[in-house]
Amino acid sequence: MYQISLVTAEEYSLPVLKQAVARHFSLLPQESLRPGMKVTIKPNLIMKGRPEMAATTHPALVKAVILHLRELGIKDITIADSPGGLYSKPLLMGVYEQTGMKAAANECGAMLNTDLGSKVFRIPQGKVCHEFDIIDPIGNADFVINLCKLKTHCMTAMSCGVKNLFGCVPGLLKPQLHYRFPEGEKFAQMLIDLSLLVRPGLTIVDGVDGMEGDGPTGGVPRHMGITAAATAENLYALDLVMCYILGFTPSQVPMVRCAIERELCPKDWRQVDIQGDRNAVRPLENLKKPATKKLNFASALPKPLSAIMDRYQGKLSPRPVIRVKDCIGCGRCAQICPAHTIEITKGKAVIVPSKCIKCFCCHEMCPAKAIDIKSIGFFRLFSKYSES
């Protein structure tokens, strides 16, 4: 039987979250976590952003987990992630500072990873990818705790347990994986292969304040009031239940759809044994979906027409558009773009559309939020993607 735990939490106060974490630990089996282990906490630190933006895991939850681990006699605790962009010490330090990780580590007695090493690990049972470069604090840990944020996501519809593990891949190797697996389905299979390799012993979802709209960084905070958790083998069931809470069907979230196909979780969230506050499991009302997931021309049409439209779906589907007046020309989008299809011209970013694979990494990483996601009118299909 698949099992997860769900505990409501209305605010990011340390006492509330300590209690929530203690309940998760009591509701789930944790035999494998022992004193003396080297434990790595992997939060979502996608960018330098304040906790109130709801793009990153809240430091109060990280603190609560560290304090609980220390109560269990675990002293070797490291916080680690590879945020979007370069995997460099200055970037990591900036991210730790802004996201509140530095204060969490200092106040509660954990280390912040600054080791930039990584190693290749093989996963022979991978479906589309058989090896991954993994950052050392994850590869060398005895036990990984995946502390993900619950968000809608422009490319993958949702970001939760499986998606958060993409940050185990160092820096600019992430865009390379986007380029190798540009289609939603293959990308999702790759993420599942990665999750089977990392196999976090415990995943805890930060859904107190999640993100709705154009996540993972360009959306808006949304109070959800939940935390949820699962052990390694129930990671996919956890994503399945969170998919229901965000108001998606499994077929709309590629990672969940692929996990069901691979028999890693049941087809229906009702087949999951939910311990704790089960009454809080219901879809969030009027949750804003990402712009990329609002349009599906093909499915809205009668069958003969939908087959024709399917062929044009790729061209008509939403894509990134630079708002020239807001672009500060920092070049971060060009640096991250896996298809190398962004140029900085006269201090402004310009996207050349023909090579764009619609991964939305540029939208994710833009510090000025100068990249919108729009459906393109037919006359603009072959021009450059920018508007003043």
Q: Which residues bind ligand SF4 (CB under 6 A)?
A: 320, 322, 327-333, 337-339, 341-342, 349, 351, 356-362, 366, 368, 370-371
Residue 294 burial (C-beta neighbours within 10 Å; 0-12, 13-18, 19+): exposed
* CA distance linking residue 39 with residue 105, whole number of Å: 13
Least Å distance between CB 53 and ligand SF4? 16
b or e along 366-379 (b: 16 or more beta carbons within 10 Å of the residue's beta carbon)? beeebbbbeebeee
Cβ of residue 153: shortest distance to ligand SF4, in angstroms?
A: 13
Count of alpha carbons within 13 angstroms of residue 285, beta-carbon side = 1
Of 115, 84, 99, 76, which is closest to residue 12 (Cα–Cα)?
Answer: 99
Q: Please return the burial class of 210, using the count of CB atoms within 10 Å of its CB with bins 0-12, 13-18 and 19+.
A: buried
Closest distance between ligand SF4 and the C-beta of residue 84, in Å? 11
Burial 312-336 (b: 16+ CB within 10 A, else e): eeeebbbbbbbbeeebeebebbbbb
The span from the CA of 73 to the CA of 78, in Å, is 15
Q: Which residue, 272 or 349, is less far from ligand SF4 as judged by CB? A: 349
CB 47, min distance to ligand SF4, A? 11
Residue matched to tokens 């759809």: 257
Q: Which is nearer to ligand SF4, 213 or 276 (CB)?
A: 213
Residue (130 or 340) nearer to ligand SF4, CB: 340
Min dist. Cβ of residue 64 to ligand SF4 (A): 34
Omega of the bond leading into 216 within 30 degrees of 0 (cis): yes
Q: How far is the CB of 288 from ligand SF4 (least distance, A)?
A: 20
- Sequence-distant (6+) residues with CB within 8 A of 32 are 143, 201
Closest to ligand SF4 by CB, 272 or 357: 357
Nearer to ligand SF4, 49 or 225 (CB): 49
Whole-angstrom distance, CA of residue 385 vs CA of residue 322: 6
Please state, in angstroms and rounded to a whole number, the distance separating the CA atoms of residues 251 and 379. 32
Quick one: 24 or 293, whose CB is closer to ligand SF4?
Answer: 293
Residues whose CB falls within 8 Å of the CB of residue 178, separated by 6 or more in sequence, listed in order: 187, 338, 357, 359, 361
In the complex, minimum distance from the CB of residue 167 to ligand SF4, in angstroms, rounded to a whole number: 17
Residue 77 vs 371, nearer CB to ligand SF4 = 371
Q: Work out how close the CB of 264 gets to ligand SF4 at its nearest, in angstroms, rounded to a whole number.
A: 28
Question: DSSP strand E in the chain: where?
Answer: 2-8, 38-43, 76-79, 111-112, 118-122, 131-135, 143-153, 157-159, 202-212, 220-231, 272-276, 319-323, 342-345, 348-351, 371-374, 386-387
Structure tokens at 156: 């993958």
> Can you say how many angstroms the Cα of residue 111 is from the centroid of all Cα atoms in its chain?
23
Which is nearer to ligand SF4, 33 or 327 (by Cβ)? 327
Nearer to ligand SF4 by Cβ, of 27 and 330: the residue is 330
Nearer to ligand SF4, 241 or 339 (CB): 339
Distance in Å, CB of 375 to ligand SF4, minimum: 14
How near is the Cβ of 255 to ligand SF4 at its closest, in Å?
A: 19
In whole angstroms, how far apart are CA 100 and each of 94, 106, 280?
Answer: 10, 10, 28
